[in-house]
Chain A
Amino acid sequence: MRIASVRIENFRGIRSLELEFDEATVLIGENNSGKTAVLDALRLCLRELGPRRRVVFDAFDFHLPDAAAEPSSADPIQVEITFSEQAKGDWSDELIGRLNRQKILQVADDERSHLLLRVTCAYDPANRDFQQDWSFLNLNREPLAGIAETALSVVQREVPYFYLPALRDAARHFDAKGPFWRPFLKDSQLPVEKKAEIEKKLREVNDLVVASHTSFEQARKGLRQVQDVVPLGGGDVVSIEAVPGRMFDLLAKAQIHLGTTTGAKIPVGHHGEGTQSLAVLMLFSAFLEAWPSGAPIVALEEPEAHLHPSAVRALWHIVCEFSGQKLISTHSGDLLAETDVHQIRRLARSPNGVESFRVPANLLSGEETRKFNYHVRRTRGELLFARCWLLVEGETEAWIYPGAARAIGANIHREGVRLVEYSQSDVGLLAKVANAFGIHWYCVVDDDAGRNQYEPKVNANLNEVAKADRLALPYTNIEVHLLSNGYEGIYEPFMPTQNLLKVAKTRGDPDYWLDYADNLPGKAKTRAAAAVAVEMENRGDAGVTAEVRAVLDKVITLARGA
């Protein structure tokens, strides 16, 4: 049974938000954009929720729209969670029977089953206290009547909600009281095959931990050299056991030691934080497999914390193997690099509170998806975290605009602006994806013959935004623009003599710089651009042309959400 969607109202930073979930869903967004609020709302309403009137929210969970607002005058918190069959038959007959006996099941005309849970909490001035209630709803979202308290626990047994917050302190999780560790310690009567399965898992943990630490490999090399001096025995005597591989070790100790065959053992809690994170995740995975329970919902906050980028990419596939439904919040472009774009939900603040954006299922054609994966997702996953994309034609602009920004003292990174080159990709596709994710964009196009190729694609994706806020045609050509605006000296060293001889026009001719630029070799253009960027920064404010400055001002304004 998995969550199809959730509606959250007046919870923390969220005024009103509706989110749809897949088998695995990745939440992205800046700090304070509501990712943790979503995971917490689900945790409170699925795991913490109990008797109807026992309040699980606290005063500061209420959405306070302004500084003067008080929880006691805030609008009611409301969370609605919808569980749905993707297709008739997803849920077992037994489960459907059980939910129908609880009088909470709903069946749509296409015979798919649904379950809708609503939790509300409001301040009651008469009692001077918060009043909470939960109810199951029918398909018209009207509360069903006559539902026993036990109905909730039937649902909670079926969809246990596990939440792993960003701060994974291994010492705490691997403590004898840790929720995922304790069952392993307690259960010493494991059947042989279970035990083998867990040990296999633990070896995988070990391999992953070791593989994701280049330092381990160096240590191993160093230790092998010891062998040259002191005979230690045959074979590869140096192995690293980041996590003990045997149940016996696990059960004998209340704490895992990551150690080496040299005998030096260090408790897991004293290892690097990346190792701790991984160890906890793998322990959790082992826990889910050893004690399968219903269809769990696993919420992971920033699983990438403290991990090497290649470990992050490997991690995604491990997380996908977890049984049940996965909700992951992340700040990692490397993790997104491995994620299907349709599974991503981008949360962003707007004047109306938090809004959610996604790429709908049929927005991109197969070819567009491939292009997007190749040009953006695989290599530049971090682009999806931007507030505004500055779409530029090629490498020259990619050097010039950041240089210009530095020259005028603007921090475009801090403003959430990222440059994306479109000549090798497809400006229409980039605009479409940016629109879907609620990312602002601004496209700089040379006002030359190439304009005809790009402008229609910009036009096609305006989505009712003024064209002036999406398209700039500041110059016919960036090189000509720079050459004619005081940077000709930077280009001179890169202009080969035989090319210079081909320039027909004479200096002073209005088309001289155009002719000059036409004869610049491609490599020279980009090398010169890098040098111009440095020179521009040196010249400061005065070195930036009005046209380039106007583009920067525009993207910063867009990024600020104006």
Chain B
Amino acid sequence: MMVIALETLNENQRKAVLWDDGPLLVLAGPGSGKTRVLTFRVARLLEAREDVSVLALTFTNMAAAEMRERVDQLLGQRGDRAHLCTFHSFAADILRQHGSHLGLRPDFSLLTQDEDRIAILEEIVSELSDEGHVLPTDHKNLLNLLDRLFAESYDGGEEAPPLVSTPAWLPQVFASYCAALVAGNRLDFGSLLHFARRLLQEKPGVARVLRLGWTHVCVDEFQDTNKAQYDLLRLIAPAKRHNLFVVGDDDQIIYQWNGASPERLRGLRRDYDMEVVQLPECYRCPAAIITLANRLITHNVGRTSGKTPITARRTAGLDDNVIRYGAFASPDDEAAFVPRDIQDRNLGAADCVVLGRTAKLLDRAASALTDAGYEAYVARRKSGFESPAVRVLIAALRLANARHDRDILRRLCLAWEALTSQTLEVDDVAAGAALAGGDFLRAWVDAASANAVGRAAATADRVRSDLVDSLAFPEVVDWFLDGGWRSWGEDDDQETADEVATWRELHGELVREYGHDSLTLNVYLQKMDLASKAPRPGPDAVRCMTVHGSKGLEFKHVYLIGMAQEVLPAFQALRKGTESKELEEERRNCFVAITRVEGTLTLTRAQEYYGYTKAPSQFLAEMGIGDDE
């Protein structure tokens, strides 16, 4: 029997947790316990009512995993009436199950590398150029444009909404790109949402069974929703009084560049008969921080009207000397201050985080930390593994899943060369395959074994026995992660060891979710593609993160560096004007950064950056912090 401790909730939280049917918007300030509210409500509904099934959509795998874990704790087990996942993973599920209506096979693969997507684009562009169109030559930019169109739910029409004027060739490039994805049974991230939306629009029967499957829909971090995600949501929950439970905060929109917009919350309130519950009570930050945050954010005029100021609800804490501010002559001085200060204050490294507006600032802070003898962990997006041993096995798995894919064969040959210095020509292997029934993996193993000795021969043999002669999956991955990789991991090869550890964690999660015997290679690869391969920080590392990367997290001690005009707020935003929506987003960046704080906040700036003198950030003054303090 589940115990939901309703008495531990405040009045607003309780109202949200006890919400049954109909649409509700929960405006949840930072540290207001929104994940707790969301998971409590899901667990309560599932237990109280047999007729309820809940789909909860999040933006990050991490948020989905955390919610799954919390609901599991509350309910013992989730059963099949709750599905907590990201928008992308949900779209992939729909397309795997129902994609045949659009010509997709259930075993489609995901394109995670830009080079693969550009290769598709190049082919299209060259065909169109032959027909006389004049297209941009920068394909990387063209790719960014496509991503933008996907995010804005562009449907191939003559007017592309995010663009001032739509070039004549655009609809055709877009249509050809989508067609090439279907023909190759490969999708990229943006097209996952595009095809899921099209499927539900064009096949009302599919939309119907989806709605029958999920009676209640929740969305976490709604403010991050782009148009494509919102359109998908509208198809899953079309009724004005749909059982839609949305948690968000317009003060934390920091993904405008990715398609998020304050307009989305206004649209939500227009499309649904939303009741609103505000959760202004902050359980995370000391009162002094909340004062700063409230002062800062009221400068944004585009906020939801009637927004209650945040109130401090922290019961215990070290509220002395919570906020400190320092200015330094140069960025190097600023960076060097951080490790010195951590040492002076005798803080635990893992309790500290350095936040900055840009990755460049953080690199400097990280090297200063390293120089001072600290372990620095720079969080970054990582979509693929990099160590040769891991790349070889992943590429072999991919080729086992798509045995005629020349691109994958090429990547396997490159990884093998990096690992063993043995060069295998893609054309030679492909020619060999033509004689052996077209199986690229078999041909590759034959070629690799022919010249390999020692550990290379052993690895090739393993691929032969487990992926060519039979499909011993996931056993071959178990073998590799449980020690098979060690013959390649030299003592000083931290990269391989880290990547194996990251993979092992992902592998464990997937085996737990699907069961050892039910996990098919294809789904495994799709799920791996959706997951971040960034390593977790070590237990004694000082984390260095961008403000965007810190979203949803909390830290004891925050060093927010680079508090200067044209850094935070960023140059591009300032150029748009002090009243611009870009500047408001910069302010929200600052708001998000300072509301990560559980203990102390240290704000720093240098007099100059990149060789130019920079004034103190206007946000310092808006928060009531001056150079004299």
In this complex, the member of A106, A126, A146 whose beta carbon has the largest number of chain B beta carbons within 10 angstroms is A146
Q: What's the least CB distance linking B204 to chain A, in Å?
A: 7
Closest A residue to B55 by beta carbon equals A101
Chain B residues near A94: list those with CB within 8 A.
51, 212
Contact call B212/A111, Cβ cutoff below 8 A: no
Question: Can you report 16 residue pairs joining A to B where beta carbons are below 8 Å apart?
Answer: A51-B517, A97-B209, A97-B212, A100-B213, A103-B96, A113-B209, A126-B470, A138-B97, A139-B100, A142-B105, A142-B107, A143-B107, A145-B522, A146-B96, A150-B80, A154-B80
A206 to B111, CA, bound (A): 70
> Given contacts A101-B213, A149-B518, could you give 5 more A-B pairs where the C-beta distance is less than 8 Å?
A109-B101, A110-B205, A142-B105, A144-B96, A149-B515
A127 to B206, CA, bound (A): 41
A51 to B518, CA, bound (A): 9
Assuming the A-B contacts A101-B213, A138-B97, A144-B106, are A107 and B518 also in contact, with contact meaning beta carbons closer than 8 angstroms in the complex?
no
The answer to whether the Cβ of A375 comes within 8 Å of any Cβ in the partner chain is no
Chain B residues near A104: list those with CB within 8 A.
97
A53 to B472, CA, bound (A): 13
Chain B residues near A106: list those with CB within 8 A.
97-98, 100
The answer to whether the Cβ of B600 comes within 8 Å of any Cβ in the partner chain is no
* CB interface residues, B 106-156, toward A, < 8 Å: 106-107
Interface size class of A (residues with CB under 8 A): 35 or more
The answer to whether the Cβ of A98 comes within 8 Å of any Cβ in the partner chain is yes
Contact call A145/B107, Cβ cutoff below 8 A: yes
Closest B residue to A105 by beta carbon equals B209
The answer to whether the Cβ of A228 comes within 8 Å of any Cβ in the partner chain is no
Q: What's the least CB distance linking B502 to chain A, in Å?
A: 22
Chain B residues near A127: list those with CB within 8 A.
470
Q: What's the least CB distance linking A538 to chain B, in Å?
A: 70
| Residue of A97, A110, A140, A147 touching B215 (CB-CB under 8 A) | A97
* CB interface residues, A 199-254, toward B, < 8 Å: none
Assuming the A-B contacts A142-B100, A142-B106, are A101 and B53 also in contact, with contact meaning beta carbons closer than 8 angstroms in the complex?
yes
The answer to whether the Cβ of B328 comes within 8 Å of any Cβ in the partner chain is no
Contact call A124/B96, Cβ cutoff below 8 A: no
| Residue of A53, A109, A124, A145 touching B517 (CB-CB under 8 A) | A53
The answer to whether the Cβ of B523 comes within 8 Å of any Cβ in the partner chain is yes
The answer to whether the Cβ of B520 comes within 8 Å of any Cβ in the partner chain is yes
The answer to whether the Cβ of B208 comes within 8 Å of any Cβ in the partner chain is yes
A51 to B516, CA, bound (A): 11
Per-residue CB contact flags for chain B residues 524-542 toward chain A (1 = under 8 Å, else 0) read 0010000000000000000
Contact call A145/B106, Cβ cutoff below 8 A: yes
A98 to B106, CA, bound (A): 20
A113 to B206, CA, bound (A): 10
* CB interface residues, A 499-557, toward B, < 8 Å: none
Contact call A103/B517, Cβ cutoff below 8 A: no
Q: What's the least CB distance linking A336 to chain B, in Å?
A: 39
Contact call B107/A100, Cβ cutoff below 8 A: no
A311 to B120, CA, bound (A): 72
The answer to whether the Cβ of A102 comes within 8 Å of any Cβ in the partner chain is yes
Closest A residue to B207 by beta carbon equals A107
The answer to whether the Cβ of A15 comes within 8 Å of any Cβ in the partner chain is no
Per-residue CB contact flags for chain A residues 128-152 toward chain B (1 = under 8 Å, else 0) read 0000000000111011111111100
Q: What's the least CB distance linking B49 to chain A, in Å?
A: 13
Contact call B514/A96, Cβ cutoff below 8 A: no
The answer to whether the Cβ of B313 comes within 8 Å of any Cβ in the partner chain is no
Assuming the A-B contacts A97-B213, A145-B106, are A111 and B520 also in contact, with contact meaning beta carbons closer than 8 angstroms in the complex?
no
Q: What's the least CB distance linking B183 to chain A, in Å?
A: 15
Chain B residues near A102: list those with CB within 8 A.
80
| Residue of A97, A111, A143 touching B204 (CB-CB under 8 A) | A111
A-B contact count (CB 8 A): 98
Contact call A93/B212, Cβ cutoff below 8 A: yes
The answer to whether the Cβ of B469 comes within 8 Å of any Cβ in the partner chain is yes
A140 to B101, CA, bound (A): 9
Contact call B205/A108, Cβ cutoff below 8 A: yes
Contact call A138/B100, Cβ cutoff below 8 A: yes
| Residue of B51, B212, B518 touching A148 (CB-CB under 8 A) | B518
The answer to whether the Cβ of B83 comes within 8 Å of any Cβ in the partner chain is yes
A103 to B89, CA, bound (A): 13
Per-residue CB contact flags for chain B residues 45-56 toward chain A (1 = under 8 Å, else 0) read 000000101000
Q: What's the least CB distance linking A106 to chain B, in Å?
A: 7
Q: What's the least CB distance linking A539 to chain B, in Å?
A: 69
The answer to whether the Cβ of A52 comes within 8 Å of any Cβ in the partner chain is yes
Per-residue CB contact flags for chain B residues 432-472 toward chain A (1 = under 8 Å, else 0) read 00000000000000000000000000000000000001100
Assuming the A-B contacts A139-B100, A147-B518, are A100 and B210 also in contact, with contact meaning beta carbons closer than 8 angstroms in the complex?
yes
In this complex, the member of B206, B210, B213, B469 whose beta carbon has the largest number of chain A beta carbons within 10 angstroms is B213
Assuming the A-B contacts A103-B93, A138-B100, A146-B520, are A98 and B205 also in contact, with contact meaning beta carbons closer than 8 angstroms in the complex?
no
A108 to B100, CA, bound (A): 10
The answer to whether the Cβ of B324 comes within 8 Å of any Cβ in the partner chain is no
Assuming the A-B contacts A107-B205, A109-B205, A113-B209, are A148 and B100 also in contact, with contact meaning beta carbons closer than 8 angstroms in the complex?
no
In this complex, the member of B101, B106, B470, B526 whose beta carbon has the largest number of chain A beta carbons within 10 angstroms is B106
Q: What's the least CB distance linking B187 to chain A, in Å?
A: 13
Q: What's the least CB distance linking A72 to chain B, in Å?
A: 16
Contact call A101/B514, Cβ cutoff below 8 A: no
Per-residue CB contact flags for chain A residues 75-103 toward chain B (1 = under 8 Å, else 0) read 00000000000001000011011101111
The answer to whether the Cβ of B198 comes within 8 Å of any Cβ in the partner chain is no
* CB interface residues, B 203-261, toward A, < 8 Å: 203-206, 208-210, 212-215
| Residue of B51, B107, B206 touching A107 (CB-CB under 8 A) | B206
Contact call B106/A143, Cβ cutoff below 8 A: yes
A96 to B93, CA, bound (A): 17
* CB interface residues, B 471-530, toward A, < 8 Å: 514-515, 517-518, 520, 522-523, 526
A431 to B515, CA, bound (A): 56
| Residue of B106, B107, B208 touching A111 (CB-CB under 8 A) | B208
A111 to B203, CA, bound (A): 9
Closest A residue to B521 by beta carbon equals A145
A146 to B527, CA, bound (A): 10
Chain B residues near A100: list those with CB within 8 A.
97, 209-210, 212-213
Chain B residues near A103: list those with CB within 8 A.
93, 96-97
Chain A residues near B314: list those with CB within 8 A.
none
The answer to whether the Cβ of B81 comes within 8 Å of any Cβ in the partner chain is yes
Contact call A148/B515, Cβ cutoff below 8 A: yes
Chain B residues near A147: list those with CB within 8 A.
518
A126 to B465, CA, bound (A): 9
Q: What's the least CB distance linking A47 to chain B, in Å?
A: 20
Assuming the A-B contacts A102-B80, A142-B106, are A52 and B518 also in contact, with contact meaning beta carbons closer than 8 angstroms in the complex?
yes
